[in-house]
Amino acid sequence: MIQKTLNINGVENNIIVDPEESLANVLRGQLGLTGTKIGCDQAQCGACSVIINGKVVRSCALKMKKVADNALITTIEGVGQPDNMHPLQLAWVLHGGAQCGFCSPGFIVSAKALLDENDNPTREEVRDWFQKNRNACRCTGYKPLVDAVMDAAKVVRGEMKAEELLFKLPEESSIWGSKYPRPTAVAKVTGTLDYGADLSLKMPNDTLHCALVQAEVSHANIKGVDTSEAEKMPGVFAVLTAKDVKGKNRITGLITFPTNKGDGWDRPILCEDKVFQYGDAIAIVCADTEKNARAAAAKVKVDLEELPAYMNAIDAMAEDALEIHPGTPNVYYECPIKKGDETGPIFESADVAVEGDFYVGRQPHMPIEPDVGFAYFGEDGKLMIHSKSIGVHLHLLMIAPGLGLEPDQLALVANPMGGTFGYKFSPTMEALLGVAALATGRPVVLRYNYYQQQTYTGKRSPWFMNVKFAADKDGTLKAMESDWTVDHGPYSEFGDLLTLRGVQFIGAGYNIPNIRGMGRTVCTNHAWGSAFRGYGSPQSEFASEVLMDMLAEKLGMDPLELRYKNVYREGSTNPTGQAPEVYSLPEMLDILRPKYKAALEKAKAGSNGNLKKGVGISVGVYGCGLDGPDTSEAWASINEDDTVTIHSAWEDHGQGADIGAIGTAHEVLYKAGITPDRMRFTWPNTATTPNSGPAGGSRSQVMTGNAIKDASEKLLAAMDKGDGTYRTYQEMVDAGLETKYVGNFTANAGTHCDAETGQGCPFVVYMYGVFMSEVTVDTSTGETTVDKMTLVADVGKINNKLVVDGQMWGGIAQGIGLALTEDFEDIQKHSTMRGAGFPYIKQIPDDMELLYVETTRKDGPHGAGGTGELPLTCPHAAISNAIYNACGARVAHLPARPEKVLEALKN
Ligand code: MCN
Ligand code: FES
Ligand code: FES
């Protein structure tokens, strides 16, 4: 141990520290300054940025022995406090810079150092700064962060008053459609919002820290587990294996279709006799500190008999491949699509036909916050599990039997989260925490490091697709044939639902009267497939959108005009035979057309030597909801202090459940004079909040929004005195009226798709987008730069413009990553953010244009549709099409890394 004297945020601290400990851990663990976050813990994300003697430093990578005595350190807490915010923090709130907010303290600290050095930076200098300091954001697409720095700089220079950075309430009282900042924004930008790892540092002293013993091979039989050495390690309280699990020791996918050949009970909590994928948990060590737990975990000996590992669907489908789950074929689910007439004869007589093979890869979610959770027993003896769950009620039912608990013996709570992008639609560590708490009777904490985040959470499932179009010579689509194979990793949960997305979204956006096709889900030994923003649409639509361009070329037609001819209009049906609820695509293409023509001209003029410029477009469509008659519940109550609480389990990954709930309710309740600052929301907790369903499938604004609207309308009606005035809480009580109202919604027009034909009305509301990408390809290196992205979007009426803009920018940025760099194919190489191709600021264009067509959705609250997944439906197809337009390289196998572009150029 060494003693250090540090000046932190103007206060001298004399502290005793381990010289090998990181500054980030000392700030957070010893000094309680949890505003400094730890994301990657590998100097790659900037979440831990602090200023030391005027320089930005990533404190996770700085050992205490290297910190100079008397160093002047500024953390986010020293930049500004909630009641005295720095202009950067004000600007972050105003521009919606904090979505999940996990990166915000690091960015703001970094920007503070920039402005201290240069109070008049250009936008490019701001971008260079964040690039140099490795500040990474997964939610915002960076643009609003640069906007915020530019505004804050004006205040620092004295050209703008700080008050101008405060949101002004619109005069007409309604905040619907406005840029009202989300209620959690101030806590996020000041580092005062506690995320899972922050909360776990504040747990009681008898809390145990867990570490996992994980498989380091992808497929094996387990012959024995020897925990004896680990049990003797310092600080160890217990080493738990499958035999310590009281229940079924399985997590179930719950909603498997009857045609699924498995039983849905294929995912162990702790592996018993087999390892199914790299990283599978075999044992849990519970100890006094995380360090001791991890050291002991390394001493557990696992005797394995390695088996052939099937690392992709094609290998797992081979004749001689072993069944990964003995008794269940590796191809365990198939779903056909049959719409209209047989397509064979149509293809034979068609004027034109095109065919292509496509692949969209294993995109990793890469939230900045790695997975984290804790568990303990509540006063009533209930096992409480806090995590990043985005489906608390769903996950409770998925894990309870495995733990041997009745559902009412367990409660799941969602912590504030640093992004999930869908990986938390699957339970990750919840059941492991449950096992540890049940076996030890103590509070337990489990934190994944970034390596575990990458290697042992679900990933986007790779799809291999073959699609064909038949068309008339005027470009009218006549038929489609499709075949798709989904590599879902070893666990079946939601795999069939994902595969069904191929039925629903290959060819979406176009009226294709006749379709035949077949999709299949394949069990493999690579990372298990979990939901990822877009959920099947980025795979499905990549195929049909690149094929549309191939068809346009064959017909000698412009790609935009070919799409214009075929998009949904009155009388059209989508691939599942459902009439679209709105027909906005023609209008959206009309809006894009002049911009597209100008972009083509600009590209032609701008190409120079090896630097070829090109323009590509694509259409994106996705549904809002869980297939069929999706349902949600929410409550509205008036409180003693005359504030209103909206109770729901709308989980907030970072997308904005807080403002989603409040904005939707306020549009009803402002009539009673309730201002948004007098409205509260709830953090999801199965014991105290209603079952609003998971925050996936871009369903919450529509489903939970409708339930909130219903509850709010009932509350408003009860408050209404009938003379234009409204009751207070006390007047409600005096009048004998309830103060809490239950709201419900069921999407009654929704029907499940037929198992034989895929026909049905799976969603009552859809989102529509038209993407345009402008790129430069360096034909000497194969490197692609995205210069500009444009999105014309119809997500119905907009609840909160700040949120929706932010969703679009952030989703497009993930689409650029999907198109060009992101992958998790190579378990070791792709186990870090940088290794997996995380897009930093310079990879994302500053020029991103958003245009909206707000068509009222009759089934959405106040006309709103969903939004979260639209921006990641198909931006990558526009980029691939732009690469072709630039240089003639058709890359249909993503990501389009330079070597693939060069290879395609040769062909
Ligand atoms: N919204 C709006 N107006 C509309 C539609 C939506 O203002 N017409 C707002 C909503 O109020 C909400 C947000 O947009 O704040 C997204 O709403 P919705 O589309 O209903 O989606 P969910 O709330 O169900 O969120 C999930 C969705 C999904 S499925 C993924 S994955 C995803 C996403 O949202 N993960 C995200 N966006 C994300 N954003 C961040 N920052 N982090 C994630 O992990
Ligand atoms: Fe330190 Fe990522 S750079 S946590
Ligand atoms: Fe930047 Fe979520 S707001 S990572």
DSSP 747-808: -TT--PPPTTT--S---S-EEEEEEEEEEEEETTTTEEEEEEEEEEEE-BS-SBHHHHHHHH
Q: Ligand 2 in contact with 45 (CB < 6 A)?
A: yes
With the most atoms of ligand 1 within 8 angstroms of its CB, the residue from 624, 701, 857 to mutate is 701
Q: Dihedral angle at the C-alpha atoms of 543, 544, 546, 549, nearest 10 degrees?
A: 160
| Tokens linked to 589 | 């293409």
Q: Is the pLDDT of residue 172 over 80?
A: no
Q: Which ligand is nearest to the CA of 798?
A: 1
Rounded CA separation 387/375 (Å):
9
Rounded CA separation 554/275 (Å):
49
Rounded CA separation 146/130 (Å):
9
Going from the Cα of 609 to the center of ligand 2, the distance in angstroms, rounded, reads: 40
pLDDT mean over 410-417: 98
pLDDT reported for residue 201: 97
Rounded CA separation 483/467 (Å):
6
869 flagged as catalytic: yes
Contact by Cβ (8 Å): 421, 453: no
Q: 3-class SS at 592? A: helix
pLDDT reported for residue 732: 98
**Residue that has been written with the tokens 């381990």 in this structure:** 18
Going from the Cα of 130 to the center of ligand 2, the distance in angstroms, rounded, reads: 13
Strands 208-214 and 444-447: parallel
Rounded CA separation 467/353 (Å):
11
Q: Which atom of ligand 1 is nearest to the CA of 663?
A: 11
Number of H helices, E strands in the chain: 25, 30
pLDDT reported for residue 257: 72
Other residues' Cβ atoms within 10 Å of the Cβ of residue 306 = 11
Going from the Cα of 655 to the center of ligand 1, the distance in angstroms, rounded, reads: 4
Q: Which atom of ligand 1 is nearest to the CA of 860?
A: 8
Write down all domains in the chain, each with its CATH number in brackets: 1-192 (1.10.150.120), 208-310+371-455 (3.90.1170.50), 536-626+754-906 (3.30.365.10), 631-746 (3.30.365.10)
Q: Which ligand is nearest to the CA of 832?
A: 2
Rounded CA separation 347/341 (Å):
11
Contact by Cβ (8 Å): 851, 790: yes
pLDDT reported for residue 255: 58
DSSP symbol at 274: E
pLDDT reported for residue 309: 98
Q: Ligand 2 in contact with 60 (CB < 6 A)?
A: yes
pLDDT, tens digit, 9 for 90 and up, residues 444-493:
999 999 999 999 999 999 999 999 999 999 999 999 999 999 999 999 99
Element (H, E) at 214: strand 208-214
Going from the Cα of 783 to the center of ligand 2, the distance in angstroms, rounded, reads: 27
Q: Is the pLDDT of residue 404 over 90?
A: yes
Q: Is the pLDDT of residue 256 over 70?
A: no
Percent of the chain with pLDDT over 90: 98
Angle at 717 between CA 711 and CA 723, to 5 degrees: 155
Q: Which of 545, 667, 774, 869 is catalytic?
A: 869
Greater model confidence, 169 or 629:
629
Residue of 24, 21, 20, 4 lying closest to 12 (CA atoms): 4
Rounded CA separation 210/178 (Å):
45
Q: Which ligand is nearest to the CA of 137?
A: 3
pLDDT, tens digit, 9 for 90 and up, residues 26-44:
999 999 999 999 999 999 9
State the pLDDT confidence band at 260, using cuts at 50, 70 and 90: confident
Long-range contact list for 835-842, CB < 8 A, 24+ apart?
Answer: 836/364, 836/366, 836/454, 837/895, 838/44, 838/136, 838/138, 838/366, 839/813, 839/814, 840/130, 840/131, 840/134, 840/136, 841/127, 841/130, 841/131, 841/135, 841/137, 841/142, 841/146, 842/127, 842/128, 842/131
Q: Is the dihedral of CA 375, 448, 288, 293 positive or negative?
A: positive
Residue of 667, 656, 858 lying closest to 96 (CA atoms): 656
Q: Ligand 3 in contact with 98 (CB < 6 A)?
A: yes
Q: Which atom of ligand 3 is nearest to the CA of 98?
A: 3
pLDDT mean over 546-572: 98
pLDDT, tens digit, 9 for 90 and up, residues 732-757:
999 999 999 999 999 999 999 999 99
H-state helical runs in 121-179: 123-132, 143-156
The mean of the pLDDT values for the chain is 97
Which residues' Cβ are closer than 6 Å to ligand 1?
A: 99-100, 139, 419-422, 533, 653-657, 659-660, 695-701, 795-800, 803-804, 807, 810, 864-869
pLDDT mean over 851-856: 98
State the pLDDT confidence band at 258, using cuts at 50, 70 and 90: confident
pLDDT reported for residue 254: 64
Going from the Cα of 24 to the center of ligand 2, the distance in angstroms, rounded, reads: 9
Rounded CA separation 772/115 (Å):
34
What are the backbone dihedrals phi and psi of residue 729, each rounded to the nearest 5 degrees, phi first? -55, -50
pLDDT, tens digit, 9 for 90 and up, residues 777-820:
999 999 999 999 999 999 999 999 999 999 999 999 999 999 99
Q: What share of the chain is helix, strand, coil (3-state, %, to 5)?
A: 35, 25, 45
State the pLDDT confidence band at 141, using cuts at 50, 70 and 90: very high
pLDDT, tens digit, 9 for 90 and up, residues 512-522:
999 999 999 99
User: Using CB atoms within 10 A of its CB, is residue 199 exposed (0-12), middle (13-18) or buried (19+)?
Assistant: middle
Q: Ligand 3 in contact with 59 (CB < 6 A)?
A: no
CA distances to 28, 30, 76, 107, 583 from 190, in Å: 15, 19, 6, 11, 43
Q: Is the pLDDT of residue 259 over 90?
A: no
CA distances to 111, 115, 129, 426 from 132, in Å: 12, 15, 5, 35
pLDDT, tens digit, 9 for 90 and up, residues 216-244:
999 999 999 999 999 999 999 999 999 99
Distance of alpha carbon 896 from the chain centroid: 22
Contact by Cβ (8 Å): 418, 194: no
CA distances to 338, 464, 833 from 757, in Å: 5, 21, 41
Q: Is the pLDDT of residue 170 over 90?
A: no
User: Using CB atoms within 10 A of its CB, is residue 765 exposed (0-12), middle (13-18) or buried (19+)?
Assistant: buried
pLDDT mean over 85-110: 98
pLDDT reported for residue 169: 85
Q: Which ligand is nearest to the CA of 46?
A: 2
pLDDT mean over 138-153: 98
